[in-house]
Structure 1
Amino acid sequence: MGFTYKFAKLLELRESEKENQALVYEKAVQRFKEVAEKLYELLKKKEDLESYQHEKIRTGIQVHEIRFHQKYLMNLQKEIDHYQNLVIQARHHMQFEEKRLMDKNIEVKKFEKLKDKEYEKYLRERIVEETKVMDEICTQIVVREK
């Protein structure tokens, strides 16, 4: 008789849940990266525009161009603020999914530990059974020789 783990189906289910959660976590990480990259691009764009505007102010610029740049900067800042909020939300979501993944990992580890302990118990029982059989065989051999 071979070793069968009584919670094998449950372990498979937990492993499947862990794999699914890993995919959800990866999607959350990807979303965070995308939003963070967009925020970075907007901040870089703002920095470049401010540098350009400062250079133009030094060399000379018309008032309507300054107004246009200021209006554009205000709109850009609104977009930056929006993406900062999205980054915060994406980070929280990513951290939440990471916590859930860690919990799933812990559950799987518990079942694997139980499986290992049951297997060790099974091996000890097999050794005891084999020892009994060997003792019985030895006893029969001694009885036959007498």
Structure 2
Amino acid sequence: QGILIRNAFRRASARLNLTHRASEKLSLGMTLNLARTINNQVPSDNAFSNPVQLVALPPMQRPYLEDGSPNPNTLYYNNLLEVTDATDQTTGFATSVLCLPRMSLSRVCLSAPNLALTCSISRRKPITDDAPLIIPVFRAA
């Protein structure tokens, strides 16, 4: 839980390291990383809808109506409307695979270049649109 309304971040990750000695002179290694993140975000400050802007409401105006819903008729924008009526969550998945071949000849150890592939997918559901936005990112080294 964050210190602001509707602000939270969760992450789960795992790492697996494998090494196989194929022969006396050749060893193969692999590192696999998996991660999943969920980021509940607050609105940015573009439209003065950030929760920090709640301090700008005059103290004589009630932030909530008598039925418990946010008051839409305040002098300054009531950010509590964003809290109840909007969602802004980013879910990300990331996978990274690193292959490490190594060959040793007599007393000299030769390492081949590392082969790496990273895949990162972010899914975000904007406040004003019901269709999620999926952004895949692939990197190879």
TM over 0.5: no
TM-score (norm: length of structure 1):
0.26
Tell me which protein shows more helix as a share of its residues: 1
TM-score (norm: length of structure 2):
0.26
Tell me which protein shows more strand as a share of its residues: 2
Q: Which has the larger radius of gyration?
A: 1
Greater RCO, 1 or 2 (C-alpha within 8 Å, sep 6+):
1
